[in-house]
Amino acid sequence: MNTRFRHAGLFAFVVLCVSAPLRAETPLEEQMDTMKAAFRSIKTAMEAPVDGDKDKYVVFADELRAAAIKAKEFDPKKLGEIPAGDREQFLTDYRQSIDQLVVLIDQLKTQLAAGDWDGVRAQMRLINRVQGAGHERFRSEEP
């Protein structure tokens, strides 16, 4: 029985090792994945928020904010699709959209810390809309 578990564990490890390079995410995509996970954690928590868990929710928002700030350092793939003369403005617009997102996340953190659950939900809808607009404008269509 113990051998069966070792074989299953080894198989899982091999699958992870082999599949990890296939993802080949860019640093920006890694930050976006982190943001997605943190946002999802807050969204799930808001289904039945607990006042005693406010600090945990703020940590999720901190993770969201840190990933957004880190994402600002990287150029979107779509930059290569933009005419050379428009690239500087494209990057300026991209970075300003991240700055706007960070402001919204800071407001979210304040609401989470205060236990303003309805405000949190409304702020999350706003953040979701801003992220969606940013993805539409700055994300490349290529896989």
What's the CATH number where 71 sits?
1.20.120.10
Closest Cα partner for 46 from 61, 67, 31, 65?
Answer: 61
In a domain, 4, yes or no: no
* pTM score: 0.80
What residues make up the domain containing 54? 25-138
Q: Which two tokens stand for residue 66?
A: 């840190």
Q: How far apart are CA 18 and CA 102, in angstroms?
A: 35
In a domain, 75, yes or no: yes
In a domain, 99, yes or no: yes
In a domain, 84, yes or no: yes
The total number of structural domains in the chain stands at 1
Confidence of residue 2 (pLDDT cuts 50, 70, 90): low
The 10s digit of each residue's pLDDT in 59-74 is 999 999 999 999 999 9
In a domain, 16, yes or no: no
In a domain, 50, yes or no: yes
In a domain, 41, yes or no: yes
Q: How far apart are CA 114 and CA 123, in angstroms?
A: 13
The 10s digit of each residue's pLDDT in 72-100 is 999 999 999 999 999 999 999 999 999 99
Q: What is the pLDDT of residue 12?
A: 41
Q: How far apart are CA 85 and CA 14, in angstroms?
A: 46
